[in-house]
Amino acid sequence: MANIFDVFIYLDEGLIKNLCSSMLEGYIEIRTSKVTYDRALTGRVHLENRQQLFGEERSARDEREGYKGKNTSEACSNQQSVDRDTGVEQRDCERVEEEVKKIYTIFTFHNRILDVLSNNNMLTRPSESQLINSNIIVGSFIEVTGTITTTSVLSYLDIIIDIINCYGEEYLNSLIKEDFKGNMNFSSILNMEKRLRDILALNGTQDLIVVKGNTIIILTVNTKFFMNNDAYIYDKVNCNCKIMGKVLSVSKNISLFRKASSYEYYEKLIASFEPLMKALESKGIIVPKMPRIRLEGNIVELLPISICV
């Protein structure tokens, strides 16, 4: 059961929908039912009385010399009729229209998945000693707490690229031309670091480093799944957080350049830039400290489904 006071800062909608198809019975986004109600009553009455009376009387006298004649006739006709026409018609039809829409939010799916994992003992909450002893299974779902760190190779590369763009390649090259006679210069460094940055930021994924005691937890996050699009990935730096995710690997060392298939090459390449960075520092230009590219110790690589604070 999720804690009602948890505030999500990250929720991977794609992974949650993926898990819904395998763990849950499916869902109905829209359910519609219709009943029609219609009632009509009509009536018709026709009433007619007719009476007809006809009378006729005739009298005729005929006189001729030596003869008298008289004719009398009477005719009477009486006709009376009553016409009545009555009709009643009723139509009754019931029709009620009702539409019900039930749309589940991604938060509901997340909590249902969390309940299924917990009820079936598929979700573990390892202690710090279990993490140190690597007592977790690759492929299992875990819920762990830790502190978000500022370690980021992308931020380091961004700063170096900004320094070269701001000061200018020619000016920086002029500062080191007496000390470095080789082919390496800031023009080539700029192009190489831009290319490396593009690879590490491909499809919006990057590493978020969390520590729990002596254990390093590497989260591969997608920046589009952070809850507030106006927020920054490191807004909650040095804050405790709770992560629910799937264990990808447990190891003693891992490279933050592993997203680039030739990560060993890029590790050597970045290391070769260090003498030039130190030369800039000696000239009064402040440069950032290069983070550890290869992490060593107790390391857990986790595919996060949700991150809460």
For residue 244, what pLDDT is reported?
A: 95
What's the rounded Cα separation, in Å, for the pair 111 and 73? 112
pLDDT tier for residue 22 given thresholds of 50, 70 and 90: confident
Confidence of residue 298 (pLDDT cuts 50, 70, 90): very high
For residue 306, list its beta bridge partners: 11, 244
- How confident is the model at residue 178, as a pLDDT? 77
Please tell me the predicted confidence (pLDDT) of residue 131: 82
Helix/strand/coil for 110: helix
Q: What is the pLDDT of residue 17?
A: 83
Model confidence pLDDT, tens digit, residues 43-73: 565 555 565 555 555 555 655 556 556 666 5
Max mean pLDDT among 17-31, 37-51, 65-79, 200-214 falls in 200-214
Q: Which residues of 218-232 are buried (b: 16+ CB within 10 A; e: fewer)?
A: bbbbbeebbeeeeee
- Per-residue pLDDT of 246-263, as tens digits, reads 999 999 999 999 998 889
200 or 237, which is more confident?
Answer: 200
DSSP one-letter code for 288:
P
Task: Report the pLDDT value the prediction gives residue 53, as an integer from 0 to 100.
Answer: 56
Across the chain, what does the average pLDDT equal? 81
CA angle (259, 288, 294) in 5-degree steps = 35
> Environment class of residue 172 by beta-carbon count within 10 Å: exposed (0-12), middle (13-18) or buried (19+)?
buried
The pLDDT assigned to 34 comes to 63
pLDDT tier, 158 (very low <50, low <70, confident <90, very high otherwise):
very high
| 82-106 pLDDT tens trace | 556 555 556 666 666 666 666 667 7
Report the alpha-carbon distance of residue 183 to residue 241 in Å, rounded. 46
pLDDT, tens only, 120-148: 899 999 988 888 777 888 999 999 999 99
pLDDT over 70 (residue 163): yes
Global pTM reads 0.72
Cα dist from 72 to 56, 67, 207, whole Å: 11, 17, 133
Confidence of residue 40 (pLDDT cuts 50, 70, 90): low
Report how far apart, in Å, the C-alpha atoms of 210 and of each of 147, 221, 257 are: 5, 12, 17
Q: How confident is the model at residue 243 (pLDDT cuts 50, 70, 90)?
A: very high
Kindly provide the b/e burial profile for residues 118-150, where b requires at least 16 CB atoms within 10 angstroms of the residue's own CB: eeeeebbebeeeebeebebeeeebbbbebbbbe
- Rounded distance between C-alpha atoms, residue 200 and residue 220, angstroms: 11
Q: Tell me the CA end-to-end span of the chain in Å, nearest whole number.
A: 16
